[in-house]
Chain A
Amino acid sequence: MKERKEVGINHLITDDSAWIDLLLSKTALILATLIILAAVYSLAGSSADLVRKDELEIIATEIASNIDSAGSSRSDNSVNCITFDPESYEQQLSKRNELNISVSGEYIFCTLTENGRDISAARQLSYRTLPLSPNKFRNLLSGTFGADGNSSQPINSAFPYADVTDFLADRGTGELYLNTSKELHIQKTTVFVTDGSEVNGLEYILVYQ
């Protein structure tokens, strides 16, 4: 048995047909090919995610720019409407049910769940925004301050109107989840406040459906 093993080792050492070179180089070639193919596959997969993310960013940017342009307009109470048509976007976001868009006082946030993974995009808003309808907004003010903040009924508050602004900032933290089959309404409104001597208007953008 021992003799036979020595013969085997000798045979290996003296064998100059270079088959081990061949095996090693072919194995390396196969391994490298596998690694490169896996890397290319994951790169292609992540680029598809990036395309989806870009589409979500387009939606978020479109809503945010509409809200910002309502904020920069000088006319009060004009209502802008946006209709959603996610299928019009480049790659067709056909899975409407899995597309979530939410609006809060600070951000527009879009999330798409695809293959169990969440892809999201957010946009910051430039103006003070509240996810409330005009009626609900005025009712909230009437219920809390006894005046709805219209020019005929300014809210009594001492400068810097912290009670009104803190109350509204608190309402702005809530999120409005948009129904993409309905129109989105954007309206600029003013809450009039008075400290007894001077009346000032606090501007807000209302976003509702």
Chain B
Amino acid sequence: MNISSFTSDERALLEPNNDIIATALVVIGFIVFAAILSKTFIAFNGNSQALENYEQAAMIASDIASYPPLQGSRQELISADTLEVLANPSQDPQSHYMFFHRFSSNLDFYVEVRTDDGNYQWIISEGNTALNGRDVIASSVPVVIELGSNARCEPGTITVKLVQNGWS
């Protein structure tokens, strides 16, 4: 069967059902359109929620970067000694408690501070950093970390990781 036999066929097999075929095409087209629309909305909703959470994480990160007890010998420096104390709550439970107390008890987050060369890393958490399948939204701010009392400074980052139940 070639195309010319198909186009020159005048038996009109499909013609009486043209309406049904056209209607079926319209319905299928509409269903596809609605599916794409809802998929796009779900993606947009997820992304906007992720963006909001990111902004919250960014605000907490910049708040922590300017937290007075973390300041080193100068205002713009972060003291590695204080980070060490906060990363080990047993050394000074009061400082660790005060660090987290300002934030809403509803927020579940932990803070990672590391130098850019990767030699030093501190994790400040309220105990549990396990994700258990939950989503993490992270935001970082660049800081300068003052290592020890010999005034050696290293560039680094403070990363706040917000842990939340999944939204999708």
A-side residues, CB < 8 A to B, are 18, 21-22, 24-26, 28-29, 32, 35-36, 39, 43, 50, 61, 68, 71-72, 74, 105-106, 124-129, 159-160, 165, 169, 198, 200-203
Contact = CB atoms under 8 A, between A and B. Distances in A.
A123 to B, nearest CB: 8
Given A21-B16, A25-B20, A128 B105 contact: yes
A125 B104 contact: yes
Contacts of A159: 93-94, 97
Interface residues on B, range: 20 to 34
Interface stretch (B60-68, B112-120, B141-149): B60-68
A39 B16 CA distance: 28
Instruction: Name the prevailing secondary structure of the B interface residues.
Output: helix
Contacts, number: 80
B56 interface: yes
A198 B41 CA distance: 53
B26 interface: yes
Nearest to B56: A126
A36 B21 CA distance: 16
A201 B98 CA distance: 8
Contacts of B16: 18, 21-22, 25
Interface in B69-124: 93-94, 97-98, 101-107
Contacts of B98: 200-202
A106 B104 contact: yes
Contacts of A169: 105
Contact of B104 (A24, A36, A127, A165): A127
Given A127-B102, A127-B104, A169-B105, A198 B20 contact: no
B71 to A, nearest CB: 11
Interface of B: 16-20, 23, 26-27, 30, 34, 37, 41, 52, 56, 59-60, 62-63, 66, 68, 93-94, 97-98, 101-107
Contacts of B107: 124, 126
A188 to B, nearest CB: 10
Contacts of B101: 128, 165, 202-203
Contact of A29 (B23, B34, B63, B93): B23
B66 A68 contact: no
Contact of A28 (B23, B60, B62, B106): B23
Question: Looking at B16, B20, B66, B104, which has the most chain A CB atoms within 10 Å of its CB?
Answer: B104
B63 A72 contact: yes
A128 B63 CA distance: 14
Contacts of A68: 56, 59
Nearest to B53: A124
A99 B36 CA distance: 33
A72 B56 CA distance: 11
A24 B20 contact: yes
Contacts of A126: 56, 59-60, 103-104, 107
Contacts of B93: 159-160
A30 B26 CA distance: 12
Contact of B27 (A22, A36, A129): A36
A129 B104 contact: yes
Contact of A32 (B17, B26, B97): B26
Contact of B102 (A26, A71, A198): A71
A129 B107 CA distance: 13
Contacts of A198: 94
A118 B27 CA distance: 32
